[in-house]
Structure 1
């Protein structure tokens, strides 16, 4: 990513996209009281610099967290290989290069691809299904730039998942949206070979079935310590603990998982001291939390958007 510094307008724009990833620039501009051209130019600059990526994925995909123990000299190369897979959504190097973690998204409940343990640099593999995301907001660091009135003006109503028959169009449209969740209807139409009006109608049909992701590097907001937490929780208190985590400003993601742990959380902090205080003085002492395992994110090789646009 190129060197980028966010000013207040950039932060408001990124907050707006968290509320509605496909909001027209004209609508955002009206709320922010700037010109359409200014908003479009700001977004183009951030996107070109790799500071923001917008993608969309179907809500019905099964998600698997795959954790690979690796020989340190092989972590970066393995992460790049995994980032090239079309079905990986997130690839990170953990614990100074001793581990790689990635999320695979599969259809129809299919398992992640076999054979990862045969990679020459992999010494161990564990797989957990992410049963359900337990957080209905974005990380607070990305969503604190707008006033309440501005946020209300941009927030879209929740679309419930509606059973919509898969169309032939979707087989080409969904990969295009995974590559660029803000692609204009005219560009999408040119890519999938349908009319712009057909694409526009299909997008409206799909809104309840898609989850939009607006990814921004937390370091741009002054937060340079990122960490995965695996929590073992007393079953009777699991729901309470997950609600507490979801309300914390440091938490960017919470999910229920299978395996030896009950919850997974992604934590974003200013620095190592802030991370220490959060994990040991706040999370670890909560009633019901029996054990916390941590793994610092050393590098993020791939976020939600594909590593490259495969046309």
Structure 2
């Protein structure tokens, strides 16, 4: 499907960035058989219009933080006043408005032994109810199909960086704390720009960034509204799955083209999934024809996404 904003080249470029967020424009241009100037111009337009943003984030284990999935029931007239300060918080890594503005869900990154951020949320006059769930594990290791279906298999192979065999998160140092906020705002910031901001040599910045990537400490994402890709319905699925079937159901959902995220959580629901569909009819068909047939699901609650206020964490 075409949209008023994204053409075929835009979609291929976005797919390329999902494969390697810092791939040089010249390499993307060579694989897509267009000029480097064209890729540079397209990248600039996507960023300037707010259509897409390439960001960086760090593995929470490198900072000793836990991820809390916090669900807020909010008075409709107080949503705007609540969302703006929440989105500005450095410990808020993801924030979405749900159910027509009566709910908000965020991922809060906090030190494991520090309940203060949760207490602050509960004290807001706009919050009617708050529940918190630990995000135990991300159970989907690939991108949503709608973002990564524009390139041929050969093009994707040419752009995909070599497997690093990550050794696990490394401890952050002073250089990291200087360059990571820059990468959170623009993951394609050049090495000279990062070096100027950090006050370190370009070669030191390059080596450290390579180390963070190889270890899996640093990850990248491309923020884009799924509606621009022709998918108008997003929904959170709160699932209660029998423990013996939890891994099997999670694997099944993660393999579906409609699924954008699957995570294991604590609380009365033990699995959270985010689904993206073309329209309401496609979503209904997915619920009844696919999820309804999965063995082990004991209860399901569907909550439609109204809008996103923040999608990716500051890398700090």
Please state which band the TM-score falls in when normalised by the shorter chain.
over 0.9
How far apart, CA to CA, are the structure 2 residues paired with 1:118 and 1:109?
19
Post-superposition Cα deviations, 1:218-262, rounded to whole Å, max 9, x if no partner, equal 001111111100111111111111111001111111111111111
**Segments of 4+ in structure 1 off by > 6 A?**
none
1:36-51 equivalent positions in 2, closer than 5 A:
36-51=36-51
Which stretches in structure 2 are left out of the alignment for 5+ residues?
A: none
Question: Residues 38 and 109 from structure 1, CA distance in 2 versus in 1: closer, same or farther, beyond 3 angstroms?
Answer: farther
RMSD: 1.9
How far apart, CA to CA, are the structure 2 residues paired with 1:108 and 1:161?
23
* Contact 2:67 2:109 survives alignment (8 Å): yes
Secondary structure in 1 aligned to 2:223? strand
Matched, 1:62 2:70: no
Question: 1:287 matched to which residue of 2?
Answer: 295
Matched, 1:86 2:94: no
Secondary structure in 2 aligned to 1:169? helix
Matched, 1:269 2:273: no
How far apart, CA to CA, are the structure 2 residues paired with 1:250 and 1:168?
40
Question: Residues 80 and 158 from structure 1, CA distance in 2 versus in 1: closer, same or farther, beyond 3 angstroms?
Answer: farther
Residues paired across the two proteins, number: 306
TM-score w.r.t. the length of structure 1 is 0.93
How far apart, CA to CA, are the structure 1 residues paired with 2:4 and 2:123?
39
Matched, 1:133 2:138: yes
1:109-258 equivalent positions in 2, closer than 5 A:
110-111=114-115, 113=117, 114-159=119-164, 160-162=166-168, 164-207=170-213, 208=215, 209-258=217-266
How far apart, CA to CA, are the structure 1 residues paired with 2:6 and 2:37?
18
How far apart, CA to CA, are the structure 1 residues paired with 2:205 and 2:38?
27
Question: 1:18 matched to which residue of 2?
Answer: 18
How far apart, CA to CA, are the structure 2 residues paired with 1:180 and 1:4?
25
Question: Residues 288 and 238 from structure 1, CA distance in 2 versus in 1: closer, same or farther, beyond 3 angstroms?
Answer: same
Which stretches in structure 1 are left out of the alignment for 5+ residues?
A: none
TM-score w.r.t. the length of structure 2 is 0.92
The structural deviation recorded for 1:98 is: 0.8
How far apart, CA to CA, are the structure 2 residues paired with 1:18 and 1:163?
21
Higher mean C-alpha displacement, 173-182 vs 30-39:
173-182
Post-superposition Cα deviations, 1:265-307, rounded to whole Å, max 9, x if no partner, equal 111111112112212332123111111111101111112165x
* Contact 1:94 1:298 survives alignment (8 Å): yes
